[in-house]
Amino acid sequence: MLRLLLLAGTLLAMLTSFARAETPSLLSPDQAFRAQLVVTADGSYAVHFNVEPGYYLYRDRFAFTSEPATPLQPVFPKGELKDDPSFGRVEVFKHNVTVTLQGKPPAGTAIKARFQGCADVGVCYPPQTVLLRPGENRDGGVDALFGASSDSSGGGTSGGSAGWGDAGYFSGSKITTIALFFIAGVGLALTACMYPLLPILSSIVLGPGSSGRGRALWLSAVYVQGLALTYTLVGVAAALTGTLLTVWLQQPWVIGAFALFFVAMATAMFGGYQLQLPGSWQSRLSHLASRLPGGHTGPVFVMGALSALIVGPCVAPPLAAALAYLGQRGDVVLGGGALYALALGIGTPLLIVGAAGSAVLPRLSGKTMQRMKMVFGVVMLGMAIWIARPLWQSWLPGEHAIAFEPVRSVAELQDKVAAARGKPVIVDFYADWCISCIEFERETLSDPRVQTALDGFVRLRADVTQNTAADAALLKHFGLYGPPALLFYNAEGQLLRQRVIGFQNADAFLATLNTVQGTP
């Protein structure tokens, strides 16, 4: 039992490590928001944005033009409302979003996309502009299947951690893509997702008319083919519907449903209810089995098809990535073949179990199975928390604050630091479009304790609202991606290691100031 608990802890540690790897403390804007131009089957354009967990895009900060400059009218999916004390209720996209562009530009037309977003930690990026060309990254393989990192070779952005449905991770032929889907399926089969299928498979292999290892293997193969055919149809549907399926998969309610499914599955693992096919289904399948030639073959195939629906929500996160990618490719053959390979990968361990027949499945029953159920339950709860993580939100209040002296360039900042004459200096990077900057000013800098602590500082402010070349140079000089950020110089004019990135409340900022004032 101790070993099983250690196993559960290890799996959860891997899960949280993966989540941390997916969302570093702060990404560059081209890593946090990756754009790709998608050409649909009817020749119209759409732009898909991969938004990393912990980041979001503003709906009203998008603009699209074709080259030469011709404005294009975007059609957005429904976003999320974010309450902001300065800007009111603003609509944001905290997950991947596909923006459809009305009209059909001439073939080969490049699209210029302008957008702006922020990180949940409080840092807002300056407006970004990328030039997107059709046909680039169309030969990639299974991109971002599990949120893996990728360097895009086109589409105007590069680098960063890819999320569900981003294009361009693996490059290769259709055979390579299909092989990667098969490997991914084997990986999914080694998770708790396969557990609901074991009781079904045991009833097939150990049931009447299935005596003999050869017969058990045959029935297992039929079962897996039913599973695979269902996935094939889903893959074809993804290729035919294109970005419409991508938009549907990224809706918050879909992510919430997946998380609730994992909670329900964990409850079943802990013994809250019995996980099995409904009795009415079992009766109907038994009735069909007695009437069909060949005994169990027909109902077993149907069981396999139904099992795809049972296991589908469990594999939803990587499946969402796969379907979004296939929707962007628009290749029906690739879509069907890739999902067929994924299902075969999921079914491979089931075939092994079927080949072993009655020699294996009894060992998975009794106390061993109960212990495994507990392990799977813990892991599923962890997965529910991980999946729902992008839906978490924070609300921060705001107030007014004290004045700062403006600086507009690196040279001007250096001159004013040199002129500080033995006093420490604080440099505040600010922008009007930065919600967290307004929050920091009204919530933190307005606190009387903070204002008293800042009396001894020369206060400088770099306002990067206009995002000019000088603004970009200031940010780059200090290795910053956007506001808010506060830097500190000591009385000797030396830049200190301590800095504030994102929002801090008054108590936390006072602790930072105390540390800064105690640093020589």
CA dihedral 24, 171, 247, 156 (to 10 degrees): 70
Same domain for 232 and 353, yes or no, is yes
Q: Please check whether residue 209 lies inside any domain of the structure.
A: yes
For residues 482 and 434, is the Cβ–Cβ distance under 8 A?
yes
Q: Please check whether residue 144 lies inside any domain of the structure.
A: no
Q: Please check whether residue 392 lies inside any domain of the structure.
A: no
Contacts of 149 (CB under 8 A, 6+ apart): 160, 161, 162
pLDDT value at 511 more than 80: yes
Q: Which of 103, 132, 161 is the last residue of a domain?
A: 132
pLDDT in tens, 296-350: 566 677 777 766 655 554 554 455 555 555 554 556 677 777 778 888 887 787 7
For residues 226 and 300, is the Cβ–Cβ distance under 8 A?
yes
- What the block records as the tokens of 233 is 């149809």
Same domain for 249 and 303, yes or no, is yes
What is the domain range of residue 244? 173-362
Same domain for 287 and 416, yes or no, is no
Q: Which of 132, 161, 186 is the last residue of a domain?
A: 132
Q: Please check whether residue 167 lies inside any domain of the structure.
A: no
Cα separation values, 198 from 275, 307, 327, 350, 519, Å: 11, 10, 31, 8, 62
What is the maximum span of the chain, computed from C-alpha positions, in angstroms?
96
Question: Cα–chain-centroid distance for residue 67?
Answer: 31
Q: Please check whether residue 137 lies inside any domain of the structure.
A: no
Q: For residue 366, what pLDDT is reported?
A: 57
The whole model's pTM is what?
0.38
d(CA 440, CA 430): 10
Same domain for 98 and 225, yes or no, is no
| Chain mean pLDDT for the chain | 70
Q: Is the dihedral of CA 212, 217, 223, 225 positive or negative?
A: negative
CATH code of the domain in which 459 resides: 3.40.30.10
Instruction: Give the number of domains in the chain.
Output: 3
Same domain for 475 and 348, yes or no, is no
Contacts of 438 (CB under 8 A, 6+ apart): 84, 85, 86, 87, 398
d(CA 128, CA 115): 5
Q: How confident is the model at residue 370 (pLDDT cuts 50, 70, 90)?
A: low
Q: Please check whether residue 285 lies inside any domain of the structure.
A: yes
Same domain for 194 and 103, yes or no, is no
pLDDT in tens, 391-422: 543 333 434 457 899 999 999 999 999 998 78
d(CA 100, CA 260): 30
Q: For residue 254, what pLDDT is reported?
A: 63
Same domain for 58 and 188, yes or no, is no
Same domain for 183 and 314, yes or no, is yes
Same domain for 117 and 34, yes or no, is yes
Q: Please check whether residue 398 lies inside any domain of the structure.
A: no
Same domain for 410 and 502, yes or no, is yes
Same domain for 413 and 348, yes or no, is no
CATH code of the domain in which 120 resides: 2.60.40.1250
Contacts of 223 (CB under 8 A, 6+ apart): 200, 201, 204, 300, 301, 303, 304, 307, 347, 350, 354
pLDDT in tens, 432-469: 777 778 788 888 998 899 999 998 899 999 998 887 88
Q: Please check whether residue 480 lies inside any domain of the structure.
A: yes
